[in-house]
A and B are shown apart, each in its own frame.
Chain A
Amino acid sequence: MEKKVSALSVRGIYTGYDRADVIEDLSLEVEEGTITCLLGNNGSGKTTVIRSILGLTPPRAGRILFHDADITHLATHKIVRLGLASIPEGRKVFPGLTVEENLRLGGYQEDDKEVLLARMQKVYALFPRLEERSTQLAGTMSGGEQAMVSIGRGLMGAPKLLIIDEPSLGLSPLLVKENFRIIQSIREQNITVFLVEQNVRQTLAISDYGYVLSKGRVVAQGSADTLRDNEEVRQAYFG
């Protein structure tokens, strides 16, 4: 059997914005080489989990390890430099920067021009549309194109772990399908994926393992297959 390597380990974190904790005693593992998903309804705390991992809203208690390095209280830019990238909720492209500049920012930690160029070629191969539009301001692009910019930007850092927050939000069904296909291809590039979604069916179809979040707590977890067959999950989320 293959040896399991933990890419990300979240251990009993509590995170909140003001006084009340939004996340309570949450633990999860993302195994290297997998697509691991976190499912949950709107407001269940998915984005807050990501913010905790990225150090944007550090947890009040608990620990977060990334490839065995304790990143719980590290500044965001230092966490990112360890090889973690994210595609944020709502794309968050830099509207006043060009497509190319947005991509360059994704590779901000890399100084080697050749390496960056090679990565950009890879992104352009994945999204030829972005190469055509490389000098266009990202803010003037369509939602689908901005999604490409955001994904491409996430790949420019050549991360070990890519965290994706609700990529299908606001996209047409056709683009959603395309999105999931791309996420699958990302895993094939040896990038571990932590995928946060509300779109249960399609997410479980490409995931290896999943967690279900409700009101800031993990209420179910298991391999994608078992979650799919789980009666509770079915009733709660397959509406």
Chain B
Amino acid sequence: MDIGLIAQQTVNGLMLGLIYSLVAVGFTLFFGVLDVIKFSHGDMLTWGVFTAFSVYLGLTLIGLAAPVLILVIVALVAMAAIGFLGAAIAKVLIIPLKGAPPLNTLLITLMLGTVLRESIRLFYPDGANPKHFPALLPDWSHSWGHFTLRFDNALMLLTGLLMIVLVQLVIKRTKLGMAIRAVSQDEETARVMGINFNLVVYVTFAIGSALAAFAGVIYVLYYNELSFNMGLLLGAIGFSAAAVGGFGNIYGAIVGGFLFAMLQSIGAAALPFASAYKDVFAFGVVIVLIAVKPTGILGEKETERV
């Protein structure tokens, strides 16, 4: 294969890996603090993207013409809104179900996901059809032979990686992060330390949901298209990535996200027939991995949680 093509595939794989990782980190954080799988997580991403799109439309309507400024506002508003929504869902739906069988939470969030998704289709203007998301970053690029590095892609990768590093720092280095890890390891003892358990859960859900919105914004900037059901596959992939990495393990979720993107790339390159089978291939490998190592490739011991 041509080296330029490989480089192109690598950028593509990194971008997707980044997006999957950001979604997977949410799943793993939620599982950490509450031992729940929140199946509506992918649809929160969709809501983040539609929030971003609406804010974009609003800003252009009032005549703001600086694309980069628009993008910054759009991303921040989407993250704040979805973060808030995530915390609200935790308060209203998920914490009250604590103590009920985990299956209930799973069902509730599955239904919530459907509600979120369908409400966009039904209530967003022309919500059933995909929409075009504009390129808000300058279209500078540089070519080396067959390989063209687009400036916007590089910037998105960089910002995304910084976000992952930031999340790691918050979890590992701050008092809040310490509280999140304490709650993940032993909720009751964390309470006895004076930690406000509910507050930690709200904040964790806010962080995880805001990350999904952020991932969504990167995704639409990359593909320039949004639709009401885009979160479905992204949610399933993020979930698989978290599972492969070992639920509750943040490093695992990040590794899992990039691994999934790599599998897709391999699938697309190795399977001679339609590259549409790349997802089938990637999910197939994930199934095998989970069957072989049910606790995830980073082999969660209880002590490694979050």
In this assembly, does B189 line the interface, its C-beta being within 8 Å of a C-beta of chain A?
Answer: yes
Q: Is the CB of B305 within 8 A of A96?
A: yes
Whether A108 pairs with B193 at a CB distance below 8 angstroms is yes
Within 8 A of B (CB), among A91-129: 92, 94-97, 101, 104-106, 108-109
**Residue A26 interfacial (CB < 8 Å):** no
Contact A137 B303 (CB under 8 A): yes
In the complex the two chains form, is B186's CB within 8 Å of A92's CB? Answer: yes
B206 beta carbon closer than 8 Å to chain A = no
Partner among A75, A81, A97, A140 whose Cβ is within 8 Å of the Cβ of B185: A97
Interface residues in B, total, Cβ within 8 A? 22
- Shortest Cβ gap from A148 to chain B (Å): 16
A80 and B304 form a contact (CB under 8 A): no
Inter-subunit contact B196/A88 (CB<8 Å)? no
A106 adjacent to B193 (CB under 8 Å): yes
Q: Is the CB of B302 within 8 A of A96?
A: yes
Contact, CB under 8 Å: B304 / A96? yes
Cα A109 to Cα B185 in complex, Å, equals 19
CB distance from A166 to the nearest CB of B (A): 15
CA distance A139 to B186 in the complex (A): 12
In the complex, chain B residues whose CB is within 8 Å of the CB of A80? 191-194
| A179 contacts the other chain (CB 8 A) | no
Instruction: Select which of A56, A96, A106, A140 is within 8 A of B188 by beta carbon.
Output: A56
Scoring A86, A95, A96, A97 by chain B CB atoms within 10 A of each residue's CB, the highest score goes to A96
> Would you call A105 and B193 a contact (CB within 8 A)?
yes
Q: Interface digits, B186-209 against A, CB 8 Å rule (1 contact, 0 not)?
A: 101111111111000000000000
Digit string of B289-304 for contact with A (CB within 8 Å is 1, else 0)? 0000000000000111
Encode A135-155 as 1/0 by CB contact (under 8 A) with B. 001011000000000000100
Task: Decide if A76 touches B181 in the complex (CB within 8 Å).
Answer: no
Alpha-carbon separation in the docked complex, A109 to B189 (Å): 14
Q: B191 contacts A56, CB within 8 Å? A: yes
Q: Is the Cβ of A94 less than 8 Å from the Cβ of B179?
A: no
Question: B196–A77 contact, CB under 8 A?
Answer: yes
Question: Which residues 24-79 in A have Cβ within 8 Å of B in the complex?
Answer: 54, 56, 75-77
A88 contacts B185, C-beta separation under 8 Å: no
Type the 1/0 row for B160-191, where 1 means its CB is closer than 8 Å to any CB of A.
Answer: 00000000000000010011011001101111
Residue ID in chain A nearest B194 by CB atoms: A80
Given A97-B178, A137-B303, are A77 and B194 also a contact pair (CB < 8 Å)? yes
**Which residues of chain B in 258-306 are interfacial with respect to chain A, using CB atoms and an 8 Å cutoff?**
302-306
Complexed CA–CA distance, A123 and B44 (Å): 46
When C-beta atoms are compared, the residue in chain B nearest to A76 turns out to be B191
The answer, among A76, A97, A109, for a CB contact under 8 Å with B182, is A97
Contact assessment for A94 and B189 in the assembled complex, using a CB-CB cutoff below 8 Å: yes
In the bound complex, do residue B192 and residue A56 qualify as a contact, i.e. CB atoms below 8 Å apart? yes
* Inter-chain contacts of A106 with B (CB < 8 A): 193
Chain A residues with Cβ below 8 Å from B188 are: 56, 92
* Minimal beta-carbon separation of B91 from chain A (angstroms): 15
Q: Known: A77-B197, A80-B194, A157-B194. Contact between A95 and B302, CB under 8 A?
A: yes
Sort A-B residue pairs by CB-CB distance and give the 3 closest, nearest first.
Answer: A80-B194, A96-B303, A76-B191
Identify the A interface with B (CB < 8 A).
Answer: 54, 56, 75-77, 80-81, 86, 88, 92, 94-97, 101, 104-106, 108-109, 137, 139-140, 153, 157
Question: What are 5 sample pairs from A and B whose C-beta atoms fall under 8 A apart?
Answer: A76-B197, A95-B185, A96-B305, A105-B190, A106-B193
